[in-house]
Amino acid sequence: MTDATTAPSRSRDLDKLLLRPGNLVGPIFDPGTQLREDLKEYVRILVVGAGGLGCELLKDLALSGFTNLEVIDMDRIEVSNLNRQFLFRLEDVGKPKAEVAAKRVMQRVSGVNIVPHFCRIEDKEIEFYNDFSIIVLGLDSIEARSYINSVACSFLEYDSDDNPRDITMKPMVDGGTEGFKGHARVILPGRTPCFECTIWLFPPQVKFPLCTLAETPRNAAHCIEYAHLIKWNEVHGGKAFDPDEPEHMKWVYNEAVKRAELFGIQGVTYSLTQGVVKNIIPAIASTNAVISAACALETLKIASGCSKTLSNYLTYNGVEGLHIKVTEFVRDKDCLVCGPGVLIELDTSVTLQKFIDLLEEHPRLLLSKASVTHRGKNLYMQAPPVLEEMTRSNLSLPLFELMGKATKDIVHVTGIENKDDKKTSCLRKLRVVFKGIDGIMDMDMAGGA
Amino acid sequence: MIRLFKVKEKQKQLAENANGGPPTKKQSAGELRLHKDISELNLPKSCTISFPNGKDDLMNFEVSIRPDEGYYLGGLFVFSFQVSPVYPHEAPKVKCKTKVYHPNIDLEGNVCLNILREDWKPVLNINTVIYGLFHLFTEPNFEDPLNHDAAAVLRDNPKMFESNVRRAMAGGYVGQTYFSRCM
């Protein structure tokens, strides 16, 4: 039993998946010890978020045989995290989540290396994200998901037939929980819907009418939102409310209590105040565990091909009984974030005005009155007059110059589409390629202008 | 995808010294949608829009409204708009920068307009919001007020409300509150 050569290896169970062929495996599966070693050597995974999901994800991925992990999170540990973010201890309160989580998993699982990043996701260069094979998301906001999604999709390139180039694809696995509910999804940009294709899935945040808050509060949340949204500005003028500042939270709580007394409303507590103001939903450790486990397994399946991946959206609902469902969502073919865009081939001498004229005749666009934007720079705006005036001088300049002499890049245009005698306003993504620049002339640009 | 990851990792090692190109600004889907909204704006003559941070920051802008009828005729009211990267999933944040005596706008500039909060839908756009704000000046509403005093006066004594509005817009006190001239 103690003989090192016969002692079962830690990957014994994993080996059953990775070393043997099977009927249910993914399309390209090459079982063997080489695969097991390659997963260790070549797969680099970024975990975004080191909270409830992130802690579980790091543990699960480390135990699934991945050895190159990195984790990014901007938060510090709070006492209220400790019931479920099991990598943290009381003495860790106040320390960066990413750093403590990385350290704890490395202590427990030998051979794994986890690099922590204690910063905002926007603080990293875009190229930072391109270093990873797979990005796994354990986030709690739509905004952060949308950002990572747009970054991951920005690496995606299409060939001249509008097929995604696999080598540029950055797979994402996204987990999310809210109380007893959760989801896990696999995003293969260019092949399965990206986050933006299905953003309509997310219900809008509940917002109370301001006048109800001001005039006729009916519950504790109304009193808290009154203190937070109306009373704060009234008293503190221009000073911004900071939900992470205990003094600010305390002030809002006290004002909410006064308000509740005035209207005879029960139930304002400090923790409810935090909950309402920071929009906190009760988190349940087991939901996080279920969703993270699904995400970690999908990550393993994407990387190794040992089984087909989830296609493509799993919902878990433990509210009344238990319900699990997998839905295959479809891509938005015109998605501005993951779609190919319409390929347009141009000479470097084409002016912006000429480009706008071309869009009107382009068979796939038939777009008139185009406004053009390139990487956050508005090259031409049809309206309002103040912007039209500011951008008009660009019309006579070559587009190539306006795009910073990039040989190929994405531009976005809005305008009126004239199809089948119908005029509809639309927003389109275009892949502009300039002809006659060294190196890119060999491509056949069928479907271009 | 392990084969791809392997190829990529090897490519990366080879390209370690090659330049990766300058980091570029990311444009969110929200910014693009806003770009569409702005480029299609069709405002009444009494509304103008300006971009204090220049032509490339559309996420923060100001709208000036000069009502052409009703109690607020002749006044000029400036609103600031702040648009989130997940627009239109979230409504723009709108504040009135001009201190105004109005039942639906409080003295801090909070605006009570249903489509800015509880009734916001992603199919709405900046044009709809501006028309909504414009409407507040032509038809101030004393039900569900933000400025309770102004609402009570409008409901009980429209004549007095009218003279209060004139006084506030001309620069002066209504009750204990001073309003700067905005005509």
pLDDT digits (tens, 9 = 90+) for A197-249: 998 888 777 889 888 898 889 999 999 999 999 899 889 877 889 888 889 99
pLDDT digits (tens, 9 = 90+) for A151-164: 999 999 998 888 99
Count the Cβ atoms, other than its own, within 10 Å of residue B183.
12
ipTM of the complex: 0.83
Kindly provide the residue ranges of all beta strands, DSSP E only, lying in A59-133, ordered along the sequence. Answer: 68-72, 113-117
pLDDT at B122 exceeding the cut of 60: yes
Which residues lie closer than 8 Å to A324 by C-beta, 6 or more apart? A314, A315, A316, A317
**Contact between A387 and B38 using a beta-carbon 8 Å cutoff:** yes
Q: Which residue has the higher pLDDT, A28 or A251?
A: A251
Nearest CA in chain B to A154: B26
Look at the block and give the residue holding tokens 């992603």: B122
The region, left, alpha or beta by phi > 0 then psi within -120 to 50, assigned to residue A146 is alpha
Q: Is B145 on the interface with A (CB under 8 A)?
A: yes
Residue to test with chain B: of A387, A402, A408, most B Cβ within 10 A:
A387
Once rounded to an integer, what is the mean pLDDT over residues B151-179? 96
Residue A161 is given by DSSP the state T
33-72 in chain B: CB under 8 A from chain A? 33, 35-36, 38-43, 48-51, 54-56, 58
Phi, psi of A428 (to 5 degrees): -125, 150
B85, A149 contact by CB (below 8 A): no
A130 CB-side CA count, 13 A: 15
pLDDT digits (tens, 9 = 90+) for A312-324: 999 999 999 999 9
Residue A333 pLDDT class (50, 70, 90 cuts): confident
Q: Which residues of B touch A395 (CB under 8 A)?
A: none
Q: Which residues of A touch B9 (CB under 8 A)?
A: 42, 44
Q: Please give the single-letter amino acid code of residue A85.
A: Q
Query: How far is residue B115's CA from residue B110's CA, in Å, rounded to a whole number?
Result: 14
pLDDT digits (tens, 9 = 90+) for B44-102: 999 999 999 999 999 999 999 999 999 999 999 999 999 998 899 999 999 999 999 99
Query: How far is residue B109's CA from residue B136's CA, in Å, rounded to a whole number?
Result: 13
**Contact between A303 and B2 using a beta-carbon 8 Å cutoff:** yes
**Contact between A376 and B27 using a beta-carbon 8 Å cutoff:** yes
Q: Encode chain B in three state secondary structure.
A: CHHHHHHHHHHHHHHHHCCCCCCCCCCCHHHHHHHHHHHCCCCCCCEEEECCCCCCCCCEEEEEECCCCCCCCCCCEEEEEECCCCCCCCCCEEEECCCCCECCECCCCCECCHHHCCCCCCCCCHHHHHHHHHHHHHCCCCCCCCCHHHHHHHHHCHHHHHHHHHHHHHCEEECCEEECCCC
The model carries a pTM of 0.86
- Is A295 tagged catalytic? no
pLDDT at A80 exceeding the cut of 90: no
**Calculated CA dihedral for residues A54, A57, A63, A69, nearest 10 degrees:** -70
Q: What mean pLDDT, rounded, does chain A reach?
A: 91
pLDDT at B25 exceeding the cut of 60: no
Give the pLDDT confidence score for residue B19 in this predicted structure.
46
Burial class (CB in 10 A: 0-12, 13-18, 19+), B140: buried
Give the pLDDT confidence score for residue A139 in this predicted structure.
94
**Contact between B41 and A384 using a beta-carbon 8 Å cutoff:** yes
Give the pLDDT confidence score for residue A441 in this predicted structure.
45
Residue A1 pLDDT class (50, 70, 90 cuts): very low
Query: How far is residue A169's CA from residue A166's CA, in Å, rounded to a whole number?
Result: 5
**Contact between B108 and A233 using a beta-carbon 8 Å cutoff:** yes
